[in-house]
C-alpha cells in the first residue's frame, strides 16, 4: 500500500483561455513535488471537477499521474452523479496509474439519497474498482452529510481504505475513528481543523491550503509526532485566517488568486465562478502578508 | 411565441438495460401527445439529466423534439454546472428544434454561488442562447433558493421569459408575480401547490405528476379559468397524497413505478437511485387506487 | 361556540416606560373593536409574551377580556415552556373570560421535543383546559415545525378546535385541511399567505398586519366569499410588501413603529428588541404610503 | 477572581412530586463536592431553567450557593428572554453569593435577534451585573449561533470573562481563542469535544456528563496538562458514546435516568419532557456498563 500518512494537496486545475494549461500545471507540480507534501488528490472540489467534460477529466488524471510517477502517490477524484460513470472513470484512473480513487457522494436527488442508497453507491464502486477507494464527505458542497454510522459501516469493505472528511464536525471525526475498521484512514479535509483531527487519530490531511502552503500544513503533523503540542497549536491558529479566506470566504477564486500572489500559476476559475475583484485581491494580499509572519 | 400556458410534463427518461429506450419513449409520448398537456420539458430533474452523458443528453433532446414536432412545444433542460457547457447544450437544443431552454442554477460550490454569480450565469446563457430561456428553482435538489429579488431582476432580460419554481414557497411565488416583468411567466414546479399558484397569477405548471395524470393536472387550471373554485380546490386536495408519493416520498423511483402501474413504460432509474422495494410498490398501488376515485 | 371565522388580530402589547400601558391599550382596542376584525388573540408572539412576567401575563389577559367583553371573542395565548405553567395560565384565562386558549409548542429542548412529546403536551393541556384549545405553529420562532401528521392527529381531540399556522408552507396547510377533523379550524398565521390559504379551505387569519390594517386583512376573505377572485388576488399582492416589513424584516419593532405612524399607540418593544432606527423608520413610512394606495 | 479552570458540572435539578427536592439536591451536591469538579453551574439547560417559575429559580440559586459556600465556586444561569428580567435575576444571584452569572442568548424572535441586538443584550446585562458575566452558546437549543466575531467583540468588555460554547464547532472555538481578549476564558460545553478544545486553548469544560462522571471528565484536562496525549485521546473516545446518550440522544431524561443508575438522585424531568421508556433505560444501562470499563 502507498503511504496515506501526511499532507495531500487537492490540486487546483490551471486554466488559460478557459482550457487546461498543462505546462502551467507542470510548473505547479514541480513546486509541490519539492515540498513536504505526501501526495496529490487530482479532481477534487478545488480541482473544479464539476465543470470539466468527461474527456478533460481523463486527460487531467493521466497527466498528473505521469508528472508524479515514482515520486508521490496520486489519488484521483472520480465521482460522477451516476454509479456507472463513476466506475468507468475509476477504471480509467487505475489504468493510467492512480494509486487510489476518491469520490464525493452523489448529491443531486437529496431526498432520495438515503444512507442505504449512498452505501450501495460506494459498495458498487468499490467492488468494481481495481484500486483502493476513499470516501469524501463535503456537506457544504453536497448538502448531505455522510454520518459516522454510514462511514463506519463502509470502513469494513476490503477495498474502502479511508475518508477525506471536510465537514469539520470534530465529534463526527472522533466517532468515525472510534467505530471504523482500525486500518481505515481518516484525512482532515480542511486546514481549519487539522490539529484537533490529528490528536484524535487522523493520520493525514487533504487541504486546499496545501496548494499554497504545503510545508506549513505538513508541519502541524510533524509537531504532533514530536509531541510539541504548543507549537502545533500556535501554527494551527496562525493558519486559520488565511485558510478561511481561501476556502469559506472566497473559495476557488481566492485560492487561485493566492496562488498567483505566491508565485504559482493560479489563473481564474471557469464560469459560473467569477475571479476575485480588485478590492478582494487587496484584502487577500494583506491577509497573506500577515499570515506569513508568526505572531 | 409558443404557448407557455397550461400543463407541461417534465418527462421521465425510460431506460432499458440501463440505456435510453427510444421506442418506449415514443409509446409514452403518444400517450402524452393525446392528453391535455400543453407541452413537454425534457431533461428536467425527473428526466435524470444528472446521470446522463453529454452525448445522451443531445440524442434525447433531439428525439423528443422530433416526436413532438408540430404538435406540442418542447422546453429542453440544458443546465450544466459550467456556463460554457450550458451554452453549448442550449445551442444544440435550439438547432434541433427546442422551443425554449430551461436551466437549474449551478449548485455545487454553494458558498461561492452568490446571487451575483448566479445572475451572471443566467445572463451569460441568455445572451448566448438562440431560443428563449427559463429559470428553474428547485432548492430541495440544489440546496440553493433563487430569491424573488434575483428572479425579478432577471425577468427583465429580453431573452428570459419565465421560471419553473419547484420550491413551493407560495409567498415567494407571489413576490415574483408582484415584482417581475408583466410578461414573465411563472410555472408551479409541483402539483402540490398548483391551485394556490394559479389563483395568485401563475399561468402554468411543470409537474412530475403530469407524467401519469396529465389531464387531472391540466384540469385544475381549467376549473380556475371557469371560476369553479370549489371544484378546483377539491381536485387539488385529491392530488396531494399521490403527488407526495411520486415526488417527496419516493422520488423518481416512485414516479417510474407509478408509470408502470398505469400502463406507461416506467422502468427503473439509473443507479445510484434504487428501484422501489416490493413493499413500497404495494403501498404505492394502494395510494394510486385511492387517488383515482374522488372522495 | 364563538365565531372563529374571519380576521383576528394578535394584538401588540403597549409599553410606556417599559410597563404595560392599559390606557393606551384601551385606545387601540377601541380602534380594533370598530373595525372588521372578528376577534382578538392576546399574548401571541406579536404580544411579546416571552418578555412578560407571569403576573403581567395574567393582568393583560384579564384586561383584554374585559375591554372586549360582549363585543368580540378573545383567544388567550397561554403557552409556557412547562406543561404545568401552561395549564395554570389556561385555567386563569378561562376564569377571566377568554373564549379559547392558544399555545405555541414548547421549543427549547429541540432535540427532545419529538412529535410524541409535543403531542402529549397538547393533550395534557387540552384535557385540563376549561375552554377550547388551538394549536399554534411558528417555526421561524420556535425552530420546530408541527407536521401536518401531528396536527391532524391532534385535531380529533374533542377540546382542540383549530390551529394558527404561521409557517407559510401552503402544502402543509392543504394537508392539514385534507387530513384533519372536518370541524377543525385553520387560521393563516400571516397576511403573506391569506388568500391562498382561504381558497384551500382556511376559514380565518390571525395576522400581525391586522393590528394596523384590520379591514384590508378582513376584506380578502369577503372577496373570496363573494367569488371576486381577481380582486382578492390584487389585494393580497398589495399587502405583501408592507406585511413583509412589519413581520420578517423589522418584526415587532416595525409593527410598533407602523402603529405609531397610523395613529395607534405603538411605543417600543421591550429589550432585547431594539426600536427601529430613524433610517429604517423613513423606509417604513415610504412603504406604508405606497401600500395605502391601490396600484 | 475565582478559579474558572477545570471541570464544572451544569447540575441537574432534582424534582420529587414535580417540586424541587432540596434534600435530594444536597445528597447530589455532597457527591459532587467530593469529586474532581472545579465548580458548579446552576440553572443551565440541564438544570431545566426554562420550566421553572421565577421564585423557584431564585430559591434554587440561593440553595446551591449555600451548599457550595467556601468549597467550590458557583456560576448561576440567569438568562431570561427579556433584558430586565435577566438583570434582576443576575442581581439576585450576586446577592446570594454566586461567583459569576452565565446567560444563554435570547432566542425566541430569531429573525430580529441580529448580532447587534444580542450584543446590546449582553452589554446591558454586563454593565448592570455586580458579578462577572459569561456568555453561553447552545445553537441546538436556541437555533442561533453566537459567531466567533460577536464573541470576540464581547470578550473585551471588562465584566465579560468567558464563554461556555456548546455548539461543538471546533473551528469556531479556535477562532474565539484566536481573536478574543487573552484573559477571556473558553469552556467546552459538552464532553463530546473536550480534548480537542483543550489542545486548542480552552481552559475548562461545563459538561452535562460531569453530573455523573465528574472525575473522568476532569481527568482529560489533567492528562493534557501532563502531556499524556494518547491517554487523553483514549479517554475522550471512551466517553463519546455515553455522552451521546445522555445529551443528544435522550437529553435530560437520559441524564436523570443515568444518575439514578449510578447512585445519585435523578428523578424525572418536568413535563413536557417525558421520562425514558423501560426499553430505553435498558439500552442506557448497557451503554453505562460498557463505558465504565476501559477498552
pLDDT one-digit tens code per residue, B85-118: 999 999 999 999 999 999 999 999 999 999 999 9
Mutation site, D148, D167, D174, interface A, largest A CB count within 10 A: D174
For residue C52, give the chain D residue with the closest CA: D82
| Residue B170 at interface with chain C, using a CB cutoff of 8 Å | yes
**Residues of B with Cβ-Cβ distance to C193 under 8 angstroms:** 170-171, 174
**What is the distance in angstroms between the Cα of B129 and the nearest Cα belonging to chain C?**
33
Strands C6-10 and B204-206: unpaired
pLDDT band at B262; cut points 50, 70, 90: very high
Mean pLDDT along residues D141-160: 98
Domains of chain D: 6-228 (3.20.20.70)
Structural contact between residues D163 and D187, judged by C-beta atoms closer than 8 angstroms: yes
Residues of C in contact with D109 (CB under 8 A): 45, 50, 141, 251-252, 273
Cα–Cα distance, A204 to A186 (Å, whole number) = 7
- Chain C residue numbers touching B195 (CB-CB < 8 A): 199-200
The answer, for A290 touching chain D at a CB cutoff of 8 Å, is no
B277 contact A CB<8A: no
Q: Mean per-residue pLDDT for C45-68?
A: 98
d(CA C189, CA C197): 10
Residues in a beta bridge with D74:
D40
Backbone φ/ψ region at A250: left (φ over 0), alpha (ψ -120 to 50), beta: alpha
Q: What's the average model confidence in pLDDT over D163-172?
A: 98
Rounded average pLDDT over D89-117: 98
Residue A213 cell numbers, joined? 502552503
Which of B43, B83, B86, B109 best probes binding to A when mutated, by most A CB atoms within 10 angstroms? B109
Cβ(B106)–Cβ(B81) below 8 Å? yes
Note whether B72 and B40 are within 8 A (CB).
yes
Query: Which of D188, D291, D252, D265 has its CA nearest to residue D26?
Result: D265
User: CA B190 → CA B235, C149, D75, distances in Å?
Assistant: 14, 21, 53
Q: How far apart are CA B17 and CA D154, in angstroms?
A: 63
Asked whether C72 and C39 are in contact (CB, 8 A), the reply is: yes
Q: Quick check: A98 contacting D, CB < 8 Å?
A: no
Residue A114 CA, distance from chain mean position: 24
Helix (H) or strand (E) holding A204: strand A204-206
What are the residues whose beta carbons fall under 8 Å from the beta carbon of D225, sequence distance 6 or more?
Answer: none
Do the chains contact at D141 and C108, CB–CB below 8 Å? yes
Q: With 0-12 CB in 10 A as exposed, 13-18 as middle and 19+ as buried, what is B30?
A: exposed
Torsion angle (degrees, nearest 10) of CA A217, A219, A225, A229: -90
Of D50, D118, D274, the CB nearest to C81: D50
| Nearest beta carbon to residue D237 from set A177, A196, A236 | A177
CB-based contact D265:D255 (threshold 8 Å)? no
Distance from CA of B123 to the nearest CA of C (A): 27
On the 0-12 / 13-18 / 19+ scale of CB atoms within 10 A, C22 is: middle
Q: Which residues contact B255 (CB under 8 A, 6 or more apart)?
A: B12, B46, B208, B211, B212, B246, B247, B266
Q: Is the pLDDT of residue B51 over 80?
A: yes
DSSP characters for B166-222?
Answer: -S--HHHHHHHHHHS-TT-EEEESSGGGHHHHHHHT--EEE-GGGGT-HHHHHHHHH
pLDDT of residue D258: 97
Q: Does A143 touch chain B (CB under 8 A)?
A: yes
For D220-259, the pLDDT digits (tens) are 999 999 999 999 999 999 999 899 988 889 999 999 999 9
- CB-based contact, A81 to chain B, within 8 Å: yes
What is the DSSP track for D22-81?
HHHHHHHHHHHHTSS--EEEESSGGGTGGGS-HHHHHHHHHHHHHHHTTTS-EEEE---S
Share of chain C above pLDDT 70, in %: 99
Q: How high is the pLDDT of residue D293?
A: 62
Q: How far is B220 from chain C (nearest CA, A)?
A: 13
In this complex, is the C-beta atom of C139 within 8 Å of any C-beta atom belonging to chain B? no
Task: Cell numbers for B70, please give them.
Answer: 408540430
* Residue D294 confidence (pLDDT) above 60: no
- The answer to whether the CB atoms of D177 and A237 lie below 8 A apart is yes
Cα separation of C138 and A166, whole Å? 33
- Each as own residue / partner, the long-range contacts of residues B257-263 (CB below 8 Å, 24 or more positions apart, any chain) are B257/B281, B257/B284, B258/B212, B258/B284, B258/B288, B259/B12, B259/B28, B259/B211, B259/B212, B261/B285, B261/B288, B262/B212, B262/B288, B263/B31
Query: Which chain B residue's Cα is nearest to C201?
Result: B233
**Min distance B200 CA to chain C CA atoms (Å):** 6
Residue in chain C nearest B170 by alpha carbon: C170
Whether residues D120 and C252 touch (CB distance < 8 A) is answered with no
ipTM: 0.97
Q: Do C237 and B174 touch (CB under 8 A)?
A: yes
- Residue among A58, A164, A256, A281 flagged as catalytic: A164
C·D CB contacts under 8 A: 110
The answer on pLDDT for B11 being more than 90 is yes
pLDDT at B118: 98
Give the long-range contacts of residues C292-295, CB within 8 A, separation 24 or more. C294/C234, C294/C238, C295/C234, C295/C238
Q: What angle do CA C36, C38, C41 make, to 5 degrees?
A: 120
pLDDT confidence tier of residue B18, bands split at 50, 70 and 90: very high
CA distance D240 to A170: 12
DSSP D163-199: EEE-S--HHHHHHHHHHS-TT-EEEESSGGGHHHHHH
A54 in contact with chain B, both atoms CB, cutoff 8 A: yes
Chain A: give the shortest CA distance to residue D193, in Å: 6
pLDDT score for B246: 85
* Cβ atoms B155, B149 nearer than 8 A: no
R_g of chain D, CA atoms, integer Å: 18
Q: What is the pLDDT of residues B198-224, one digit of tens each?
A: 999 999 999 999 999 999 999 999 999
3-state secondary structure (DSSP) of residue C109: coil
Cα distance from A170 to chain D (closest Cα, Å)?
A: 6
Q: What is the pLDDT of residue D246?
A: 85
Closest Cα partner for D93 from D40, D170, D46, D15?
D40
Can you list the alpha helix ranges (DSSP code H) found in C157-193? 170-179
- Write out pLDDT tens, residues D14-68: 999 999 999 999 999 999 999 999 999 999 999 999 999 999 999 999 999 999 9
Asked whether D and C share 3 or more beta-carbon pairs under 8 angstroms, the answer is: yes
Section C281-295 average pLDDT: 83
Smallest Cβ–Cβ distance between B170 and the set C177, C196, C237 belongs to C196
Of A204, A200, A206, which is closest to residue A185 (Cα–Cα)?
Answer: A204
- Which residues of chain B neighbour C178 with C-beta distances below 8 Å? 237, 240-241
Nearest residue of chain A to residue D248 (CA atoms) = A171
Decide if C224 contacts C198 (C-beta within 8 A): yes
> Under an 8 A CB cutoff, do A273 and B51 touch?
no
Catalytic-labelled residue, pool B57, B72, B164, B281: B164
Task: Determine the distance in angstroms separating the CA of A227 from the nearest CA of chain D, rounded to an integer.
Answer: 8
User: pLDDT at position A227, please?
Assistant: 97
Collapsed DSSP state (helix, strand, coil) of residue B239: helix
Helix (H, G, I), strand (E, B) or coil at C141: helix
Show residues of chain B in contact with A84, CB under 8 Å.
Answer: 18, 270-271
Residue whose entry in the numeric block shows the C-alpha cell 475522550? D236
Mean pLDDT value of segment D154-162: 98
Supply φ then ψ for residue B276, to 5 degrees.
-60, 140
Q: Both ends of chain B: CA-CA distance in Å?
A: 40
In a 3-state reduction of DSSP, which class is residue B42?
Answer: strand
Query: How many other β-carbons are positioned within 10 Å of the β-carbon of residue B152?
Result: 17
Grid cell of C48 as nine digits: 411579546
Residue C267 gets the label, from left (phi > 0), alpha (psi -120 to 50) or beta, of: left
**Is A159:A177 a contact under the CB 8 Å cutoff?**
no
Q: CB C82 to CB D271 under 8 A?
A: yes
Say how many Å lie between the first and final Cα of chain C, rounded. Answer: 40
Left (φ > 0), alpha (ψ -120 to 50) or beta: where does D100 sit?
Answer: beta
* Cis before A272? omega within 30: yes
Strand locations in C32-191 (E): 39-42, 74-77, 100-104, 133-137, 160-165, 185-188
> Can you give the pLDDT at residue A8?
98
D287 contacts in A (CB within 8 Å)? none
> Residue C248's pLDDT is what?
85
Catalytic residue among D57, D58, D72, D164: D164
Confirm if D96 and D61 have CB atoms less than 8 A apart: yes
Tally C-beta pairs within 8 A across A and B.
110
Does D173 have pLDDT greater than 70?
A: yes
* Residue in chain C nearest B177 by alpha carbon: C237
- Which portions of chain A are predicted below pLDDT 50? 295
Q: Would an 8 Å CB–CB cutoff place C231 in contact with chain B?
A: no
Tell me the C-alpha to C-alpha distance, in Å, between residue B180 and each of B120, B162, C252: 18, 10, 29
Point out the residue among B111, B120, B250 whose CB comes nearest to the CB of A274. Answer: B120
Quote the CA–CA distance of A225 and A107 in Å, as a whole number: 37
Using CB atoms, which chains have 3+ pairs under 8 A with B? A, C
pTM above 0.80, yes or no: yes
Q: B170–C177: do the CB atoms touch at under 8 Å?
A: no
Alpha-carbon span A1 to A3, nearest angstrom: 7
- Evaluated on CA atoms C68, C69, C72, C75, the torsion sign reads positive
Q: Which among A52, A81, A273 has CB closest to B51?
A: A81
Confidence band of C247 (pLDDT split at 50, 70, 90): confident
- Residue A232, min C-alpha distance to chain D (Å): 9
Which residue has cell 481495481?
A130
Interface contacts B/C by beta carbons within 8 Å: 69
| Each residue's pLDDT tens digit, C145-169 | 999 999 999 999 999 999 999 999 9
Q: Do D174 and A200 touch (CB under 8 A)?
A: no
D164 as an active site residue: the answer is yes
Of the partner residues A171, A193, A232, the one whose CB lies closest to the CB of residue D171: A193
Amino acid at each position: 500500500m502507498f503511504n496515506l500518512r501526511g499532507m495531500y494537496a487537492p490540486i487546483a486545475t490551471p486554466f488559460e483561455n478557459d482550457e487546461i494549461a498543462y505546462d502551467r500545471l507542470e510548473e505547479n507540480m514541480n513546486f509541490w513535488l519539492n515540498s513536504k507534501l505526501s501526495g496529490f488528490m487530482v479532481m477534487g472540489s478545488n480541482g473544479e471537477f464539476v465543470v470539466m467534460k468527461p474527456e478533460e477529466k481523463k486527460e487531467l488524471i493521466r497527466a498528473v499521474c505521469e508528472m508524479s510517477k515514482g515520486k508521490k502517490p496520486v489519488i484521483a477524484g472520480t465521482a460522477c452523479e451516476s454509479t456507472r460513470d463513476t466506475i468507468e472513470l475509476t477504471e480509467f484512473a487505475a489504468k493510467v496509474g492512480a494509486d487510489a480513487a476518491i469520490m464525493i457522494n452523489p448529491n443531486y436527488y437529496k431526498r432520495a439519497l438515503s444512507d442505504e442508497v449512498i452505501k450501495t453507491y460506494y459498495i458498487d464502486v468499490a467492488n468494481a474498482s481495481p484500486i483502493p477507494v476513499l470516501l469524501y464527505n463535503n456537506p457544504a458542497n453536497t448538502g448531505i452529510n455522510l454520518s459516522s454510522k454510514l462511514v463506519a459501516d463502509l470502513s469494513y469493505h476490503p477495498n474502502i481504505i479511508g475518508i477525506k472528511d471536510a465537514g469539520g464536525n470534530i465529534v463526527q471525526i472522533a466517532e468515525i475513528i472510534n467505530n471504523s475498521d482500525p486500518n481505515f484512514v481518516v484525512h482532515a479535509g480542511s486546514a481549519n481543523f487539522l490539529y484537533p483531527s490529528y490528536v484524535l487519530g487522523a493520520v493525514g490531511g487533504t487541504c486546499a491550503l496545501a496548494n499554497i502552503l504545503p510545508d506549513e500544513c505538513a508541519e502541524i503533523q510533524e509537531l504532533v509526532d514530536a509531541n510539541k503540542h504548543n507549537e502545533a497549536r500556535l501554527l494551527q491558529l496562525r493558519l486559520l485566517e488565511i485558510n478561511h479566506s481561501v476556502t469559506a470566504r472566497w473559495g476557488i477564486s481566492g485560492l487561485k488568486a493566492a496562488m498567483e500572489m505566491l508565485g504559482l500559476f493560479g489563473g481564474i476559475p471557469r464560469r459560473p465562478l467569477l475571479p476575485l475583484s480588485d478590492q478582494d485581491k487587496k484584502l487577500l494580499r494583506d491577509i497573506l502578508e500577515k499570515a506569513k509572519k508568526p505572531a
